[in-house]
Amino acid sequence: MTTQPYLKLDHIDKTFTRGNATTEVLKDINLTIEKGQYVSIIGHSGCGKSTLLNIVAGLTNATQGGVLLENREVNSPGPDRAVVFQNHSLLPWLTVYENVKLGVDKVFSSTKTRAERDAWVMHNLNLVQMAHAKDKRPAEISGGMKQRVGIARALAMEPKVLLLDEPFGALDALTRAHLQDSVMALHQKLGNTILMITHDVDEAVLLSDRIVMMTNGPSARIGEVLEVPLPRPRKRLELATNASYLKCRQRVLEFLYERHRFVEAA
């Protein structure tokens, strides 16, 4: 396996300034991600995970340092780094189909015909098993379904990197497990490069190739990076008793709850 960096976060600092009050949120973040890798970022609430993801997405600019994708600097948002937002962010006045189509029409305006784009939208809705609800509006489908459509919208743009900001955070445990399995299957099938933010230790270990653990803010840094040496495809039930799974889990828990305990009130 060649280990050429695909996505590179290079010495990123981020300081927010309001008036003359400045808060340093991120301090010297360095990270390289290889093509096809699934990397999770875990850390306590408010440490700057979303800020970091938004910098990679181009929605926020870093104060220092930058993001390189295939050795080219990126500093504005684009469909090559599609985001699945924490609260789905589907446009409520569009149907499920139209929400996915919005991105497809822009990205493939010159490379696909109308019929091909339509087929591509349906293909991606099928990938997340949402084709049956294509004419429903977001208000008419459940939270888990909305998140599926959000994933389909991002996948349909054929991004180089898929960015997930706590994609399952707002879901109940059963739906969450179901969606985690779906995302795992999609990653297996399509080989996307994925950067995911999560709060959930089990989710991080189950899904990731590497887990990036962030220290508490302000001035959050990368505290530790853990490789997860579990072979794929991974089965949730089998892993429950797997020794290296439990060891990874233990490492992350120790990091979060012993060495970097969350002190301030959330």
Ligand X SMILES: Nc1ncnc2c1ncn2[C@@H]1O[C@H](COP(=O)(O)OP(=O)(O)OP(=O)(O)O)[C@@H](O)[C@H]1O
Residues of the shown chain interacting with ligand X in the complex, contacts defined by CB under 6 A: 16, 18, 23, 25, 45-51, 217
Binding status of residue 54 toward Mg ion by CB under 5 A: no
The pair of three-digit structure tokens given for residue 223, joined into one six-digit string? 């505290």
Could you give the CA distance from residue 97 to residue 119 in angstroms, rounded to a whole number? 11
For the segment 87-106, give every residue that binds other proteins (CB under 8 A). 87, 89, 91-94, 102-103, 106
State the Cα angle at 51 between 46 and 56, rounded to 5°: 150
Among the candidate windows 66-74, 136-144, 207-215, 240-248, which touches other proteins by CB under 8 A?
A: 136-144
- Cα 53 to Cα 85, 112, 162, 198, 248: the distances in Å are 10, 30, 11, 11, 23
Q: Which option in ligand X, Mg ion, other proteins, none does residue 58 bind, with CB closer than 5 to 8 A by kind? A: other proteins
Torsion of CA 99, 35, 46, 27, to 10 degrees: -140
Question: Whole-angstrom Cα distance, residue 75 to residue 66?
Answer: 8
Q: Mapping DSSP to helix (H, G, I), strand (E, B) and coil, where does residue 155 land?
A: helix
Closest residue by Cα to residue 57 from 156, 197, 226: 197
- Collapsed DSSP state (helix, strand, coil) of residue 73: strand
Nearer to other proteins, 28 or 140 (CB): 140
Q: Closest approach of Cβ 24 to Mg ion, in Å?
A: 17
What residues pair up with 151 in beta bridges, in sequence order?
A: none
Locate 77 and state its tokens.
């948002």
Pick one of other proteins, Mg ion, ligand X, none as the site partner of residue 244 (Cβ within 5 to 8 A by kind): none
Nearer to ligand X, 78 or 218 (CB): 218
Binding positions for other proteins, 158-197, rule CB under 8 A? 170
When the beta carbons of 133 and 212 are compared against ligand X, the nearer one is 212
Question: CB-wise, 91 or 190, nearer to other proteins?
Answer: 91
Quickly count: other Cβ atoms within 10 Å of residue 175's Cβ. 17
Q: Which of 37, 40, 50, 99 binds Mg ion (CB under 5 A)?
A: 50
- Please, which residue, 58 or 66, has the CB nearer to other proteins? 58
Nearest approach in angstroms of CB 41 to ligand X is 9
- Nearer Cβ to ligand X (16/34): 16
Tell whether residue 152 is a contact of other proteins (CB under 8 A). Answer: no
Q: Which residues inside 18-57 make contact with other proteins, applying CB under 8 A?
A: 57
Contact 241, 247 (CB under 8 A): no
Q: How far is the CB of 50 from other proteins (least distance, A)?
A: 11
Strand order in the sheet with 193-198: 81-84, 161-165, 193-198, 38-42, 210-214, 222-227
List interacting residues with Mg ion (CB under 5 A): 50
List interacting residues with other proteins (CB under 8 A): 57-59, 76-79, 81-83, 85, 87, 89, 91-94, 102-103, 106-107, 137-143, 146, 157, 170
